[in-house]
Amino acid sequence: MLGEQITVTQSNDLPRVVNLEAGAAMVVTDLHGDWDAYRRYRDRFLELQAHGQADHLIFTGDLIHGDGPPQNDHSLDIVRDVLALRESLGERLIYLLGNHEMPHLYGIMLSKGKRIYTPRFEAAMGAQRADIITLLDSLPFYVRTRGGVSVCHAGAASELVIPGAMKRVFRHSHTKLREMAATKLPTDRRAALRAGFAKLSGEPYDYMARHYLSVSGPSDSRYDDLLVGFLASSYPDFDLLWAALFTRNEQQYGPQDYAIFLDALLRDLSEDYQPQEVLVTGHMPCQGGYTLIAGRQLRLASGPHAHPQRSARYLLFDTARSVRRAAELLKGLGSVFD
């Protein structure tokens, strides 16, 4: 049985990378506050696990931020359930950081067109904020497997090809980056920096802090987090993480250039480990529930990114079985909507 030998490692040297040596993994991408979809995938995994057919449940990020009205956005319910599920599943549950989770770690706003995502979840966290932020802060960025399949949120990016760039991403510390930014905020300069930030943004600082961060006022310890996030975004390590989570893949670079960046990412993921041949991601819309890219990447849509949404798919694969091309994974696609 696949579940007889399970090894999950997350080294101190590469704290943002998880290695899976054996067992079957179920991959689910980008649910964006969709409770019905989340419940279906969770229950399917638990059913498969009970029958010895699945060992690891991997969420590739972007569990939060629904596009619809507040009553249809169950982001908080999903994250609370993930916290509870981790108590029973332990290392078998792997939640990767997505570009929608990242802004909450830095006090920055995330928007698309006229839609601003972050304030609603900031307000919803309430008394559970500390536990949720601790969870988000701990999330790995990459999974790599003995069989040569890696999993992440988005994909490859040109900025990550620079020698040493991926090692910095693999070792990234949100805490250190925030602390470095905070050193540029001495108490006697904060009022002036708030005024400058307000002038740059075109809105009063107090309004922005309350609206975007859901703080109570100037006495709140997070009142200046907008400034911390703004300063953190000026560091090169922030730019690398942004590139890793927000890349638009071949739509941004074109198919030929993107294939080069994808090969480079897989080489970096192979260093000091088993060669990684295929990348599995979510992040972007897929007609029919999945897309094959450059023969080496499977983009999967498990939730709202699937068009039509009934075509949404999860992936089930043996992490120890050698895979050389993305198309080999297609036989492991499944649906919870059939």
Distance from chain centroid for Cα 151: 11
Q: Which residues are registered as beta bridge partners of 18?
A: 143
Domain residue extents for the chain: 2-185+224-334
- pLDDT higher than threshold 50 for residue 1: no
- pLDDT higher than threshold 50 for residue 183: yes
Render pLDDT for 27-38 as a digit per residue (tens, 0 to 9).
999 999 999 999
- pLDDT higher than threshold 70 for residue 6: no
At 13, is the pLDDT very low, low, confident or very high (cuts 50, 70, 90)?
A: confident
Q: Prior bond to 308 cis, omega within 30?
A: yes
Rounded Cα distance between 189 and 67, Å, is 38
Write out the DSSP string of 95-132: E---TTTTHHHHT---EETTEE-HHHHHHHHGGGHHHH
Looking at residue 11, its pLDDT comes to 61
What stretches of 202-254 show up as alpha helix (H) in DSSP? 205-213, 225-232, 236-246, 250-253
Looking at residue 7, its pLDDT comes to 65
Write out the DSSP string of 271-333: TTSSPP-EEEE-SS-EETTEEEETTTEEEE--STTEESGGG--EEEEETTS---SGGGGGGGE
Rounded Cα distance between 73 and 38, Å, is 12
Q: Which long-range contacts (CB under 8 A, 24 or more apart) does 10-15 make?
A: 10/140, 13/171, 14/170, 14/171, 15/140, 15/170, 15/171, 15/173
Render pLDDT for 288-308 as a digit per residue (tens, 0 to 9).
999 999 999 999 999 999 999
- Vertex 94: Cα angle to 171 and 30 (nearest 5): 100
- pLDDT higher than threshold 70 for residue 10: no
Looking at residue 60, its pLDDT comes to 98
At 3, is the pLDDT very low, low, confident or very high (cuts 50, 70, 90)?
A: very low
Chain position carrying tokens 């992490």: 319
Burial of 290 (0-12, 13-18, 19+ CB in 10 A): buried
At 114, is the pLDDT very low, low, confident or very high (cuts 50, 70, 90)?
A: confident
Rounded Cα distance between 155 and 153, Å, is 7
- pLDDT higher than threshold 50 for residue 287: yes
Rounded Cα distance between 291 and 210, Å, is 41
At 135, is the pLDDT very low, low, confident or very high (cuts 50, 70, 90)?
A: very high
Looking at residue 55, its pLDDT comes to 98
Rounded Cα distance between 280 and 272, Å, is 20
- How high is the mean pLDDT of the chain? 95
Rounded Cα distance between 107 and 228, Å, is 7
- pLDDT higher than threshold 90 for residue 9: no
At 18, is the pLDDT very low, low, confident or very high (cuts 50, 70, 90)?
A: very high
162 φ/ψ angles, rounded to the nearest 5 degrees: -55, 130
- pLDDT higher than threshold 90 for residue 333: yes
The fourth-level CATH superfamily of domain 2-185+224-334 is Metallo-dependent phosphatases (3.60.21.10)
How many other β-carbons are positioned within 10 Å of the β-carbon of residue 138? 13
What is the average per-residue pLDDT within 131-152? 98
How many other β-carbons are positioned within 10 Å of the β-carbon of residue 252? 14
pTM of this prediction? 0.96
Full strand arrangement of the beta sheet holding 56-59: 93-95, 56-59, 24-28, 314-318, 333-334
Looking at residue 12, its pLDDT comes to 63
- pLDDT higher than threshold 70 for residue 83: yes
Render pLDDT for 212-229 as a digit per residue (tens, 0 to 9).
999 999 999 999 999 999
Q: Which residues contact 235 (CB under 8 A, 6 or more apart)?
A: 177, 180, 181
What is the average per-residue pLDDT within 155-174? 97
Rounded Cα distance between 254 and 294, Å, is 11
Rounded Cα distance between 243 and 230, Å, is 17
